[in-house]
């Protein structure tokens, strides 16, 4: 059994190069703040506590996470360096625990990597997460002795020419026993090129105190820091590609893994196929054999097995049964529920509508606040007039009803089962079952009528 784990996330940096009113760690990847990604990876490790060191625009950062009462917040008033930042969290850290230090602006870090780092640290060692970079400029370099043992970390600005040539860099992420951290942080000095208290100086102290220093390694991609919006966009693409690969390995076909955006959670059955430029937001659940056409947005919705969505459709807060066919150019809004085998065609909008099994709304319709039975046919251009300018009203349509094209159903109104509504009707009162109801002026033909002719102009 390892001693309890305390995680310290450094997030006091301002992020000057973002040129933003928003603190850096609140900028988003995959629709979630950078800091949320780090917290997510942290939680997977089952820590005793997660400490967040905040500073710049701290109230905004705290407010963004006020639904997560398990986080412990520590203010670092002036940014005097990473060593000072960890020092601000010390009062909250138990003496007998292990400490893991993470950065709030390194969002792609994975729990498995951190687990390996914690294994390397055990209860008594100092473990550093390092990686190799083709261009290590700007990073602290890992200095090793002839036997390969870590001796120290030297910051770029304090490094000599040989040290600058070292391509193994400090990711900043490290783990160590808390009882070592206390005295070492107290001994930090700021007599370096930046006048900061460097957390990295504790490595040389560990070596001096004969505390073993070990390393764990990861790919450079995983520890890329976000300093500007170019790096933010690059990290977004990396994160998305990672999701895409995970989905494909789990049996989802992606026509192009580089053209998928998951900003939430995608659950799926077998053999789902997603065409290009699909955006997933919130929690989306797909059954078996679901096909999603290109340029489609799916947000907080559930699609039953065998359902297909054709291109340029937006499905938001809707539940679709099995074997439905939707789109192209359909918009299903919150509260839409389609039973099995429903067909929704182009330029159809639905909202708060229950549509019974096998019903069809194939062209140019608005169906809102409606209760529709099974096997109803809604003709092209049908509109439920659900809003009188002040209140919303419901339209109820019975099984097997047939609504002729270009009809307006002025709610509240009920169309009986098996009723037929003649095309072009404005229905303001209930229509009885099984019979034809229509409301249109009789067609007439005017004999001898002549088209007007263009007047001669001089």
Which residues of the chain form contacts with ligand UD1 (CB under 6 A)?
A: 10-13, 53, 76, 79-82, 84-85, 103-105, 139-140, 153, 155, 169-172, 198-200, 225
The per-residue DSSP string of 150-180 comes to EEEEE-GGG--HHHHT--EEEEEEEEEEHHH
Distance separating alpha carbons of residues 182 and 10, to the nearest angstrom:
17
The count of C-alpha atoms lying within 13 angstroms of the C-alpha of 152, restricted to the half-sphere facing its C-beta, is: 11
Please state the closest distance from residue 78 (CB atom) to ligand UD1, in A.
8
**141/263 with CB nearer ligand UD1:** 141
| Catalytic, out of 179, 312, 363, 375 | 363
**107/416 with CB nearer ligand UD1:** 107
Please state the closest distance from residue 84 (CB atom) to ligand UD1, in A.
5
Residue 107 · residue 33 · CB < 8 Å: no
Torsion over CA of 327, 328, 330 and 335, rounded to 10 degrees?
A: 30
Instruction: Compute how many other C-beta atoms are within 10 angstroms of the C-beta atom of residue 4.
Output: 15
Please state the closest distance from residue 107 (CB atom) to ligand UD1, in A.
11
- At 71 the three-state DSSP class reads strand
Please state the closest distance from residue 149 (CB atom) to ligand UD1, in A.
18
**80/353 with CB nearer ligand UD1:** 80
Distance separating alpha carbons of residues 106 and 172, to the nearest angstrom:
10
Distance separating alpha carbons of residues 150 and 129, to the nearest angstrom:
12
Please state the closest distance from residue 99 (CB atom) to ligand UD1, in A.
15
Tell whether omega for the bond before 412 is within 30 degrees of 0, i.e. cis.
yes
**24/268 with CB nearer ligand UD1:** 24
Whether 27 is catalytic is: no
The per-residue DSSP string of 386-424 comes to -B-SS-B--EEE-TT-EE-TT-EEESSEEE-TT-EE-TT
Residue 416 · residue 401 · CB < 8 Å: yes
**62/312 with CB nearer ligand UD1:** 62
**55/404 with CB nearer ligand UD1:** 55
Please state the closest distance from residue 105 (CB atom) to ligand UD1, in A.
5
Instruction: Compute how many other C-beta atoms are within 10 angstroms of the C-beta atom of residue 344.
Output: 31
Query: Looking at the annotation, which residues are catalytic?
Result: 363
């Amino acid at each position: 059994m390892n001693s309890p784990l305390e995680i310290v996330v450094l997030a006091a940096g301002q992020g000057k190069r973002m040129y933003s009113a928003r603190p850096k760690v609140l900028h988003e990847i995959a629709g979630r703040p950078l800091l949320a990604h780090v917290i997510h990876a942290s939680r997977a490790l089952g820590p005793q506590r997660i400490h967040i060191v905040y500073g710049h625009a701290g109230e905004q950062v705290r407010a963004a996470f006020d639904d997560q009462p398990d986080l412990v917040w520590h203010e670092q008033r002036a940014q005097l360096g990473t060593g000072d930042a960890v020092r601000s969290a010390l009062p909250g850290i138990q003496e007998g625990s292990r400490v893991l230090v993470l950065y709030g602006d390194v969002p792609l870090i994975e729990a498995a990597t951190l687990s390996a780092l914690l294994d390397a640290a055990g209860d008594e060692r100092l473990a550093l997460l390092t990686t190799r970079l083709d261009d290590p400029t700007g990073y602290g370099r890992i200095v090793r002795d002839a036997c390969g043992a870590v001796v120290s970390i030297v910051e770029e600005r304090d490094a000599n020419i040989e040290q600058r040539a070292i391509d193994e860099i400090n990711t900043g992420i490290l783990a160590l026993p808390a009882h070592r951290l206390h005295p070492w942080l107290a001994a930090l000095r700021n007599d370096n090129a930046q006048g900061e208290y460097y957390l990295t100086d504790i490595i040389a102290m560990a070596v001096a105190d004969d505390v073993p220093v070990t390393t764990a390694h990861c790919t450079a991609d995983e520890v890329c820091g976000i300093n500007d919006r170019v790096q933010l966009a690059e990290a977004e693409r990396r994160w998305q590609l990672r999701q895409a690969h995970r989905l494909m390995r789990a049996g989802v076909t992606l026509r192009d893994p580089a053209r998928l955006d998951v900003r939430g959670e995608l659950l799926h059955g077998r053999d789902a196929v997603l065409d290009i430029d699909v955006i997933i937001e919130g929690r989306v659940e797909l059954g078996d054999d679901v096909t999603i056409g290109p340029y489609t947005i799916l947000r907080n919705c559930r699609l039953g097995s065998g359902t297909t969505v054709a291109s340029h459709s937006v499905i938001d807060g809707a539940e679709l049964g099995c074997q439905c066919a939707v789109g192209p150019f359909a918009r299903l809004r919150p509260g839409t529920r389609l039973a099995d085998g429903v067909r929704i065609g182009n330029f159809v909008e639905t909202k708060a509508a229950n549509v019974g099994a096998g019903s069809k709304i194939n062209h140019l319709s608005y169906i809102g606040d409606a209760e529709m039975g099974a096997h109803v046919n809604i003709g092209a251009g049908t509109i439920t007039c659900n809003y009188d300018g002040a209140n919303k009203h419901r339209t109820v349509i019975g099984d097997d009803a047939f609504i002729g094209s270009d009809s307006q159903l002025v709610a509240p109104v009920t169309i009986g089962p098996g009723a037929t509504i003649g095309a072009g009707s404005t229905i303001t009162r209930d229509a009885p079952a099984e019979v034809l109801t229509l409301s249109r002026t009789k067609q007439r033909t005017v004999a001898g009528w002549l088209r007007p002719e263009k007047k001669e102009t001089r």
